[in-house]
Amino acid sequence: MAGFIGALADLEIKITTTGSCFSEGSCFPSAEHVNGKSVDTIYKWVKKTDQKIVDAMNKFHFTKILVGNKKYFSGFKKSEDGGSLHNSHLHSGNFDKSKIIKK
């Protein structure tokens, strides 16, 4: 959650999320979202803005960022082809827990 909040603060734009997991930590149908390990956001459909979202998620330690729609997302940096499943949303996951600062 801290990584997502950091990305939101860094972006300074309104984004819409379809969530990460249910309140008890489970998710369906994607096992990638258990305990909030991943978060999905709706595309803005403005390449420059969507790249900013990818960059912010990466900056705040999401290391697996999946995009769909090859035609639209060709040339995007710091992301992977997530196939047609991700045509409607950006998937940010595989949060690097080693970056968590503990007191």
Q: What pLDDT is stored for residue 54 in this prediction? A: 96
Question: Cβ-count burial of 74 within 10 angstroms (0-12 exposed, 13-18 middle, 19+ buried)?
Answer: exposed
Q: What's the pLDDT score for residue 80? A: 92
Q: What is the pLDDT of residue 66?
A: 93
CA–CA separation, 75 and 67 (whole Å): 11
When divided into structural domains, the chain yields a total of 1
* Residue 43, domain extent: 2-99
From first to last of its 103 residues, what are the pLDDT tens digits of the chain?
788 889 999 998 999 988 776 656 556 566 676 555 789 999 999 999 999 999 999 999 999 999 998 888 888 899 999 999 899 999 999 988 888 777 7
| pLDDT value, residue 1 | 78
